[in-house]
Amino acid sequence: MGDKKPNQRVASLDNPRNIGEALKGAKLGEFWEYRVGDYRIIASIEDGALRILVVKIGNRREVYR
């Protein structure tokens, strides 16, 4: 998986919850976080449509702002 872009890594998974972490709190509670080096992928998983919506990709210092 080393040559794939971060969002392609998440999109290619059979079950994206296996490596992600559910976020908590009022603003982020519906999203999942994926760590790729210094970057974080914030995603929304829609099971019924078999779709992953990547909401934001950014450096871990800035992605939660």
Rounded CA separation 65/61 (Å): 8
- Residue-wise pLDDT for 2-24, tens only, equals 566 666 666 666 777 888 899 89
Inside any domain, residue 1:
no
Inside any domain, residue 52:
yes
Q: What is the CATH number of the domain that holds 51?
A: 3.30.2310.20
Rounded CA separation 63/4 (Å): 20
Inside any domain, residue 65:
no
Inside any domain, residue 36:
yes
Range of the domain at 10: 6-59
Enter the tokens of residue 6.
């971060």
pLDDT score at 12 = 67
What is the value of pTM for the model shown?
Answer: 0.62
Could you give the number of structural domains in the chain?
1
For residue 12, what are the contacts with CB-CB under 8 A and spacing of at least 6?
1, 4
Inside any domain, residue 29:
yes
**Which ranges of 1-65 would DSSP assign to H, the alpha helix?**
6-11
The confidence band for 31, taking pLDDT boundaries of 50, 70 and 90, is: confident
